[in-house]
Amino acid sequence: MNLLSRLRAVFHRSAIERELNQELEFHLAMEAKTLERTGLSPAAARAAARRSFGGVEQAKEACRDAWGTRFLDNLRQDLGYGLRGLRRNPGFSAVVVLTLALGIGANTAIFSVVHGVLLRDLPYAAPDRLLMLNQAAPKAGQATLGFSVPDFMDFRARNRAFESLAEYHSMFFILLGRAEPERVQTGVVSDNFFELLGVKPLLGRTFLPGEDQQGAAPVLMLSYDFWQHSFGGDPKVVGQVFEMNNKPHTVVGVLPPLPAFPNADQLFMPASACPFRGAERVLTNRNGRIIQNVFGRLKDGVNPTQALDDARRVGAELCGEFPQNYPQDDGYTVEAQGVSRAFTGHARTPLFVLLATSGFVLLIACANVANLTLARLVRRDRELAVRVALGAGRGRIFRQLLTESTLLALLGGAAGLLFASSGLHVLIDYAGRFLPRTNEIAINGPVLAFTLGVTLLTGLFFGSRPPLPTGDDLVNTLKDGARGASSGRHRLRSLLVVGQVAIAVPLLVGAGLAARSLYNLSRVDPGLDTSRVLATNIALNWSRLNDFQKRFDFWSRAIAEVQKISSVQSVAVSGFEPLNGVANNLANFRLEHQALATNTPSPHAITLASTEDYFKTVGQALLRGRFFLATDTRTSPPVAIINQSLARHYWPAADPIGRRLTFDNGTTWTTIVGVVANARQQLNAEPQDEIQVPLTNTGGLIAATVLLRTNAAPAALTREVRAAIHRADPQQPITRIETLEQVRNNALTSPRLIATLLALFAGLALLITAAGIGGVLAFTVSQRTQEIGIRMALGASRGNVLWMIVRQGLGLVAAGLVLGTTAAFFLSELMTTLLYGVPPTDPLTFAAVVAVLLAVAACACLVPARRATSIDPITALHTT
Amino acid sequence: MPDYKSELLQGTLDLLILRTLAVNDAMHGWAISQRIAQLSRDALTVNQGSLYPALHRLEAQGMVEAEWGVSDHNRQAKFYHLTRAGRRQLVDETAYWQRFTAAVGLVLKASAPT
C-alpha cells in the first residue's frame, strides 16, 4: 500500500500535483474565509492568508520530498528527457543502438558458449579435487600409454596423495534382449567410479563395493540419454535383464544427465563384466594396458602438484621393480591433469580467442558511440550551458547525460540479446561438432547478468565525457555557440579513432591468420585420392561372430556383395577409417640385424590392417614391391607394407623390400613386401611411420570400415551399400556411411567456424572503424568550414584541401597502425595452436592487414574530404 | 531572532498531529492546524507551511491515511485519519515525550538557582 502510493507518486505525477494544489488551495480559502469574518475584504483576506502560510512553493517542494521520491522523480524526468532526445534524433539513436546491439549481441552469444562449455563446473562433487592420471612415453610420441590392471592395482596400493583411485575404459558391446541387437558404447569402471566422482543415481543405485571383483554378477547402469532415447524414460527398466557378451546383465540404476566424458558412454558396467578386462592374461599382464583413464580424488590438504609428485614416485618404484615393463628409454613418466582441464582442454584456446575478439569488437563499437555522442554533445553545449546558467546543478546535468547513455546502452543491449538469441542455435549447431557440452548452452541467468553488466559498462564508458564548460568557458560557450569547448573534445575524438584502428589491427590479423590456416588446410594433399570413395563403418556383433574365421568370412562376404554394385571399381576393408584421425595405435617393433643403442626410444609405428585392394581403393601410390595378395593368409609367412616415412627412417639408403621386423621380440618375423607413399591419418598432422598388415594377420577385426571406389557419385550408392551389407548379414547394423570427401571436410569444421567468426568480427570492426574515421573527419570539416573557405579564397587548390583532410585522417590511422601492429605481434602468439601452415607473425598477413586498413581508411577519409573541396568560399565566409 | 513561542521541537509537530487525529475521526489540514492552536490556547501556533509536509511525511510512513471528501462548506478537501500504525506510534511517542519532559524537568529542578 505504502509502496503503491509511492509508485503512484512517481508515475501519476500530474494527479499528485493536482491534489497537492487543491489541498493547499483549500487551506488558503478556509484561512481567508476566517479572516474575512474579522472584517477584511476578500482580496485582503486572501493576501493575509498567503502571508501567514509562508512560501507555498517551498511547502509543495517539501511535500514532494516527504514522499522520498525526488531521486525517482529526477530519474523519471531524465528518462523522459532522454527519450525525447532520442526521438528527436532518430538517425543518431538508430546508429548507436545498432552498433551497440552488434557488439553486445556478439559478446552475449560467445559468452553463452564460453559459460556453457568452460565456466560451469562439471556436475561432479568438488571437481577441482579430481585428477586424471596418465602414463606417458613422450620420447616415443605416446601421450598416454593407458594402465594395465597390475599398474592400476599398484598405483592404488602405493599412492599416498589420493583418497581413492578409479579406473575407466570404454568399449562397444552388442546389447541383446530388445527388438534389435544394439551396438552400445559402454564405460567399464571400477565399483567406486561414481562414488569417486560424487554422482548420485537418478534411479536405483550405483555399483556396490565388490561388484568389480571377478565372479560378481554382471550389472549395468544406463546413461540418462540412452535411457531416454532407447527406453523412453521408463522407470521400470531398473531390474530388467539384458544379454551382453553371452551373459545376462541386470540394470541396477539410471544415471542423471552427465556430460559425455571421457566418452559418450550409453551404459556403464563394473570392470569384472568386461570380457577383455576380465581375461586371465589381462589381469596379470603388466603390459596389457587396457585401462584408458585413472581418476583420482585428492586427499584433504594435498594439492595437485604434490599428487603428481606422489604418482611419479610410484611410477619410479615400478620402473625399478619391473624394468622390462616400463619404457624408460622412451621417457616413461606419469602425468596428471585436472578433470575440468582434461574435459575442456582443446576448447579453451578457440573460445578465449573468440571471446577476446568479440570483446575487442565491443570496445571499437563503444569508441564509435562515444565519438558520435561527443559530436552530438558539441552541438548541445549551448543547450547544456543554458541549463547550467539557469541553475541546474552540474551533478544533475552529468546524471542526465549518464541516464541518456545508459538508456541507449540498454536499448542496444536488448537488441543485442535478441540478435544473440536468434543466432545462438546456429552457433550451437556448429560448435557442437568440436566442443563438448554444447547442448547445455543457453542464455540463462549468468549470461543475462554478463550481458547486463557489459551493457551498463558500455553505457558508462561512452557516457562519461569530459566535464562541462565552467566559468569563462561557460560564458564563451553561451556567446559562441558550438565552438567554445570543442578543442579538448576533438583531441579526445582523435584519440578514440587511433584506439579503434589499434584494436582493429589484431582482429584483422587474427582473421587473416585463421583464413590462411583454413586455406592451407583445405589445400593439404593427404596422400589419398578422396574423390569418389565411400566409407561404411561397421562394428560386428562379436558375441555371435566369436572367432577369426566367422569375422573374416563376414568381411569377405561384405566385399563380395559390395563388389556386385555396378559402378564400384574396387572394395577393401580397413581397420580404421582413413583421415579421421583415430588411427593412433602405436606398436613397438624391432628390426632384424639392427642392434639398438641403449637409452634411445624403441622403434614404433602406427599399425594398420587392410585387405588386398585397400591402397588401390583409397588411391595411395605403391612406390616399391607389391600390394597384399590373396595368397597372404594366416598360414603363409607374415608380410607387411610400410610407408615411405618409415622406409626413410630406417633404410635411408637401402631397399627395405625383403627386410624383416618383429612385434613380439623375435617370436615371429614379418617380411616387408611393399613401400607406399605417405598418407595422413589426420589432415593437420604430418604423416607418421606406418606399418600395414593384411587383415588375415589380425584377430579378424571386430570393427572396421568397408571402403569402395566408384566411377559414379559415391553418396548416391549409400542405399545399395546398405542392401549389400544386409545381404552379407541381415542382422548386421551399420554405424555410419560417409564419403571420404566428407571425412576430409569434417576436419575443416572447427577451423572453418573459427575463421568464419573471426572474419565476421573483423569485418564488423573494420566497418565500425571506417565509420569512426569518416565521422571524425566530417566533423572536422564542418568545424573548419570557415578556415577552408579562407584557404580556398586565398588560392588553395581543391587538391590541397583534399590532401589536407585526408592527411589528417591518415595521420590518425598511421598512429593506430603502429600501436595495433605491435599489439598484434604479441597477441597472435596466443593463436599458435589454432594455426596450420602459417606462423603467428606471418609477415604477409600483417602486410595485407595494414594495406586493407589503409585502403579502407583512405576511402573513409575521401567522403568528408570531398565535401571539404566542395565548400564555396563565399558562402563559407558569409555564414558565421 | 526566532520566535520561541511558535518554534516547535523537531518531531513535536508529528506528535501533535497524531494526537489531534486520535481524538477526531477525520480532519483536513486546516482543521488540524486550528485544533492545535485552539488546544494549546494559541501557545503553539503551527507554522502552516510546515504542516502539510508533515502530513505527507506521515502519510508516506503509513501513520495516517487520506481520503478526498466534502467539507462543511461543500468544498473538496483531503481528510486525514489515523492508521493502526499511527495509533501505536502515538502511544510510543507520548511515552517518550513524557519521559523526556520529566527528565528535562528533573534537570532544571536540580540545577535551579536557589
Q: What is the mean predicted confidence (pLDDT) over A391-420? A: 81
Q: Which of A404, A420, A409 is nearest to A455 (CA)?
A: A409
Chain A interface includes B38 (CB < 8 A): no
Alpha helices in A729-842 (DSSP H): 740-783, 785-793, 798-827
At A469, is the pLDDT very low, low, confident or very high (cuts 50, 70, 90)?
A: low
Q: CA separation (Å) from A234 to A226, A227, A230, A231, A251?
A: 11, 7, 9, 6, 12
pLDDT of residue A168: 94
Distance CA A633, CA A647 (A): 24
**Which residue among A26, A59, A68 sits closest to B77, beta carbon to beta carbon?**
A26
Q: Which of A592, A593, A575 is nearest to A584 (CA)?
A: A575
pLDDT of residue A89: 77
At A616, is the pLDDT very low, low, confident or very high (cuts 50, 70, 90)?
A: very high
What's the angle, vertex CA A862, arms to CA A856 and CA A867, rounded to 5?
A: 150
Q: Look at B71 and A26 and tell me if their CB atoms are within 8 Å.
A: yes
At A596, is the pLDDT very low, low, confident or very high (cuts 50, 70, 90)?
A: low
Q: What is the mean predicted confidence (pLDDT) over A538-547? A: 78
Q: Is the pLDDT of residue A486 over 60?
A: no
Q: Is the pLDDT of residue B73 over 70?
A: yes
Grid cell, residue A506, equals: 589484431
A837-846 per-position pLDDT tens digit: 899 999 999 9
A16-67 per-position pLDDT tens digit: 778 888 888 888 888 888 888 888 888 888 888 888 887 787 788 777 777 7
Between residues A254 and A431, the one the model is more confident about: A254
Percentages helix, strand, coil for chain A (3-state, rounded to 5) are 55, 15, 30
At A879, is the pLDDT very low, low, confident or very high (cuts 50, 70, 90)?
A: low
Residues 6+ apart with CB under 8 A from B113: none
pLDDT of residue B2: 38
At A279, is the pLDDT very low, low, confident or very high (cuts 50, 70, 90)?
A: confident
Of the ranges A32-41, A427-436, A705-714, the best mean pLDDT one: A705-714
Q: Is the pLDDT of residue A718 over 80?
A: yes
Phi, psi dihedral angles at A117 (to 5 degrees): -90, -45
Q: Look at B76 and A26 and tell me if their CB atoms are within 8 Å.
A: yes
At A655, is the pLDDT very low, low, confident or very high (cuts 50, 70, 90)?
A: very high
Q: Look at B48 and A27 and tell me if their CB atoms are within 8 Å.
A: yes
pLDDT of residue A518: 93
Cα A575 → chain centroid: 32
Q: What is the mean predicted confidence (pLDDT) over B53-82? A: 85
Beta strands in A214-362 (DSSP E): 219-222, 241-244, 247-254, 267-270, 293-298, 333-338
Q: Is the pLDDT of residue A334 over 60?
A: yes
Distance CA A609, CA A696 (A): 9
N-terminal to C-terminal alpha carbon distance within chain B: 30
At A479, is the pLDDT very low, low, confident or very high (cuts 50, 70, 90)?
A: low
A268-272, A295-299, B26-30: least confidently modelled range: B26-30
The pairing of strands A703-710 and A293-298 is unpaired
Which strand (E) or helix (H) includes residue A695? none
Q: CA separation (Å) from A384 to A215, A397, A415, A469, B86?
A: 87, 8, 30, 9, 46
Distance CA A141, CA A135 (A): 12
At A199, is the pLDDT very low, low, confident or very high (cuts 50, 70, 90)?
A: very high
Q: Give the gap in angstroms from C-alpha A44 to the nearest C-alpha of chain B.
A: 18
Chain A interface includes B53 (CB < 8 A): yes
Q: Which of A654, A655, A628, A660 is nearest to A641 (CA)?
A: A628
Is residue A266 within 8 Å of residue A172, measured between CB atoms? no
Chain B interface includes A29 (CB < 8 A): yes
pLDDT of residue A476: 63
At A643, is the pLDDT very low, low, confident or very high (cuts 50, 70, 90)?
A: very high
pLDDT of residue A773: 87
Between residues A5 and B54, the one the model is more confident about: B54
pLDDT of residue A664: 82
pLDDT of residue A707: 95
A112-126, A213-227, A258-272: least confidently modelled range: A112-126
At A390, is the pLDDT very low, low, confident or very high (cuts 50, 70, 90)?
A: low
Of the ranges A57-71, A79-93, A217-231, A413-427, the best mean pLDDT one: A217-231
pLDDT > 90 fraction of chain A, expressed in percent and rounded: 34
pLDDT of residue A4: 60
CA atoms within 13 A on the CB side of B86: 25
Buried b (16+ CB within 10 A) or exposed e, A391-410: eeeeeebeebbbbbbbbbbb
The one-character DSSP state at A9 is: H
pLDDT of residue A221: 95
Distance CA A189, CA A186 (A): 9
Q: What is the mean predicted confidence (pLDDT) over A319-323? A: 90
A659-691 per-position pLDDT tens digit: 999 988 788 999 999 999 999 988 888 888 999
Residues 6+ apart with CB under 8 A from A49: A28, A29, A31, A32, A35
The one-character DSSP state at A712 is: S
Which strand (E) or helix (H) includes residue A580? none
Residues 6+ apart with CB under 8 A from A132: A293, A294, A295, A296, A336, A337, A338, A339, A342
Distance CA A604, CA A663 (A): 10
Q: Is the pLDDT of residue B3 over 50?
A: no
Distance CA A268, CA A255 (A): 9
Of B28, B56, B61, which to mutate for an interface test with A (greatest number of A Cβ within 10 Å)? B56
Residues of chain A with C-beta less than 8 angstroms from the C-beta of B76: 22, 26
Q: Which of A300, A315, A305, A302 is nearest to A337 (CA)?
A: A305
Between residues A783 and B69, the one the model is more confident about: B69
Q: Is the pLDDT of residue A121 over 50?
A: yes
Cα A787 → chain centroid: 53
The pairing of strands A162-176 and A293-298 is antiparallel
Residues of chain B with C-beta less than 8 angstroms from the C-beta of A59: 49-50, 52-53
A286-299 per-position pLDDT tens digit: 888 888 899 999 99
Taking each helix axis as running N to C, give the angle between helix B48-60 and helix A2-11, from 0 to 180 degrees, rounded to the nearest 10. 120
The one-character DSSP state at A220 is: E
Which strand (E) or helix (H) includes residue A481? none
Q: CA separation (Å) from A209 to A194, A195, B44?
A: 11, 10, 88
pLDDT of residue A473: 60
Residues of chain A with C-beta less than 8 angstroms from the C-beta of B33: 27
Distance CA A114, CA A105 (A): 14
Cα B39 → chain centroid: 11
Q: Is the pLDDT of residue A167 over 90?
A: yes
pLDDT of residue A391: 62
Q: Is the pLDDT of residue A339 over 60?
A: yes
**Which residue among B49, B61, B62 sits closest to A59, beta carbon to beta carbon?**
B49
pLDDT of residue A311: 93
Residues of chain B with C-beta less than 8 angstroms from the C-beta of A63: 52-53, 56
At A196, is the pLDDT very low, low, confident or very high (cuts 50, 70, 90)?
A: very high
Chain A interface includes B71 (CB < 8 A): yes
The one-character DSSP state at B94 is: H
ipTM metric: 0.85
Residues of chain A with C-beta less than 8 angstroms from the C-beta of B48: 27, 31, 52-54
Longest dimension (CA), chain A: 139
Q: Which of A87, A92, A97, A82 is nearest to A404 (CA)?
A: A82
pLDDT of residue A137: 87
A365-379 per-position pLDDT tens digit: 888 888 887 777 766
Q: Is the pLDDT of residue A233 over 80?
A: yes
Q: Give the gap in angstroms from C-alpha B51 to the nearest C-alpha of chain A.
A: 9
Of the ranges A35-39, A251-255, A354-358, A372-376, the best mean pLDDT one: A251-255
H helices, E strands: number in chain B:
4, 3
pTM exceeding the 0.80 threshold for the entire prediction: no
pLDDT of residue A709: 95
The one-character DSSP state at B8 is: P
How crowded is residue A165: how many other Cβ atoms within 10 Å of its Cβ? Answer: 22
Q: Is the pLDDT of residue A612 over 60?
A: yes
Grid cell, residue A61, equals: 517542494
Chain B interface includes A4 (CB < 8 A): no
Is residue A230 within 8 Å of residue A183, measured between CB atoms? no
Residues 6+ apart with CB under 8 A from A833: A349
Q: What is the mean predicted confidence (pLDDT) over A396-414? A: 83
A163-167, A325-329, A638-642: least confidently modelled range: A325-329
pLDDT of residue A174: 78
Cα A724 → chain centroid: 41
pLDDT of residue B6: 45
Q: Is the pLDDT of residue A823 over 90?
A: yes
pLDDT of residue A10: 58
Which residue has cell 569384472? A272
pLDDT of residue A800: 85
Is residue A469 within 8 Å of residue A443, measured between CB atoms? no
The pairing of strands A604-610 and A622-625 is unpaired
The one-character DSSP state at A216 is: P
Q: What is the mean predicted confidence (pLDDT) over B64-68? A: 87
Q: Is the pLDDT of residue A470 over 60?
A: no
Calculate the average pLDDT of chain A.
85
A496-537 per-position pLDDT tens digit: 889 999 999 999 999 999 999 999 999 999 999 999 999 999
Q: What is the CA radius of gyration of chain B?
A: 16
Q: Is the pLDDT of residue A130 over 90?
A: yes
Q: Give the gap in angstroms from C-alpha B107 to the nearest C-alpha of chain A.
A: 35
